[in-house]
Structure 1
Amino acid sequence: MSELKVTLIKSHIGQPEKLRGCLLGMGLTKREKTVVLKDTPEIRGMIAKVSHMVRVEE
């Protein structure tokens, strides 16, 4: 199974609770933090919701 490298590039401050929940679910708590996640449909959906706040590398 492939992996995705996700980096938070924009702060979650001032964002709606749903978006903050997606970021927290992926383990992104601070700006410029990078996490490696499995490439699943659930993770892809979370990334789609916060696509304007994260950078994704495959």
Structure 2
Amino acid sequence: MADKLKITLVKSTIGAIPKQRATVEALGLKKLNKTVELPDNGATRGMIQRVRHLVKVEEI
């Protein structure tokens, strides 16, 4: 398991359901192609799983 995850928003949330929009915002992503680094834990993995079609994830 990696120490941190690099998460990038690659698809717009315009057509997404409100719960998915809230999850993307909770991950700290506001604009398209922006990247955040978050700790690799169960909570983060769960949020990524909900919006996996909108984000790109790399282990660092």
- Structure-1-length-normalised TM-score: 0.95
Which structure 1 residue ranges, 5 or more long, are not aligned? none
Deviations 1:4-45 (A, max 9, x none): 000000001121110001000000111000000000100000
Identity of aligned residues (%): 48
Which structure 2 residue ranges, 5 or more long, are not aligned? none
Give runs of ≥4 in structure 1 deviating > 2 Å. Answer: none
Alignment RMSD, CA only? Answer: 1.0
- Structure-2-length-normalised TM-score: 0.92
The number of residue pairs the alignment matches comes to 58
